[in-house]
């Protein structure tokens, strides 16, 4: 299960809406080994595409150095889908290389009739996708 604060949830959704019609992407870092998302890091989609996201390699290197310096790890890796449901694509699955991370997808398309976005979380390990519950709390 992913437990995340309302403030972080809102930041992820706001980033997805702001970057629409392109896919948005980013990370929520947390203390190493804690599984607690704390620090929102919006990233640039270097692909600037409505159907694909790619972290800028320079930004990603900088982020991982910063994570290392702060004894943090990527607890949540998120991106948006602009025209499809919030479910990992084959490309998303092939790029998932953080087995401990929660992969959060936000759809900015109304694919289920429930509104203009949906947010879902998945674990992706060795190509295996498992959806997990998202619990939103006011604080930890």
- Distance (Å, whole) CA 53 – CA 115: 23
- Are residues 50 and 73 in contact, defined by beta-carbon separation less than 8 angstroms? no
Residue 89, helix vs strand vs coil: coil
Domain ranges of the chain: 2-137
Question: Taking the model in full, what pTM does it have?
Answer: 0.94
- pLDDT category of residue 117 using cuts at 50, 70 and 90: confident
Q: Phi and psi (nearest 5°) for 135? A: -110, 120
Residues making up the chain, counted from first to last = 140
> pLDDT tens for residues 93-107?
999 999 999 999 999
CATH number of 2-137: 3.40.140.10
């Amino acid at each position: 299960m992913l437990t995340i604060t309302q403030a972080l949830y809102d930041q992820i959704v706001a980033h997805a809406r702001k970057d629409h019609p392109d896919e948005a992407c980013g990370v929520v870092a947390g203390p190493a080994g804690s599984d607690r998302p704390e620090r929102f890091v919006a990233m640039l989609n270097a692909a600037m595409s409505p159907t694909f996201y790619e972290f800028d390699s320079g930004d990603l290197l900088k982020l991982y150095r910063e994570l290392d310096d702060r004894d943090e790890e990527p607890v949540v890796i998120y991106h948006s889908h602009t025209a499809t449901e919030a479910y990992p694509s084959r490309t998303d699955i092939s790029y998932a290389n953080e087995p401990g991370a929660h992969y959060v997808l936000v759809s900015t398309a109304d694919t289920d009739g429930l509104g203009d976005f949906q947010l879902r979380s998945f674990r992706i390990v060795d190509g295996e996708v498992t959806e997990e519950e998202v619990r939103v709390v006011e604080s930890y």
